[in-house]
Amino acid sequence: MLTSVESAPDIAESAASTDPDVGLRAVAALRALAERLEILQVDNARKLGWSWQEIAGRLGVTKQTVHRKHAKRTGAR
């Protein structure tokens, strides 16, 4: 675990960076990553028989939102 201790200051430095270029890019990338994981997780939940209501509840959005976003894609399967 020595390596994580060593790299911790680097990360803290970047996270605390007030440089908008670093910070904003990180936010955008995080959003992109969340989008990809959402697709994977929603597909999987639907395959396991979860209802749109249940999925929406976990994602913290309305059933309409999650349905509008994902139903077209997963609907045919």
Binding residues for another protein (CB under 8 A): 11, 14-15, 17, 22, 25-26, 28-30, 32-33, 36-37, 39-40, 43-44, 47, 73, 76-77
For residue 71, CA distances in Å to 32, 33, 66, 74, 76 come to: 20, 20, 8, 5, 8
Measured from the CB of residue 2, what is the shortest distance to another protein in angstroms? 17
Measured from the CB of residue 8, what is the shortest distance to another protein in angstroms? 9
In this complex, which beta carbon is closest to another protein, that of residue 5 or of residue 77? 77
CB atoms closer than 10 angstroms to residue 50: 16
In this complex, which beta carbon is closest to another protein, that of residue 40 or of residue 61? 40
C-beta separation of 38 from 59 below 8 A: yes
Dihedral sign, CA of 51, 53, 54, 55?
Answer: positive
In this complex, which beta carbon is closest to another protein, that of residue 4 or of residue 60? 4
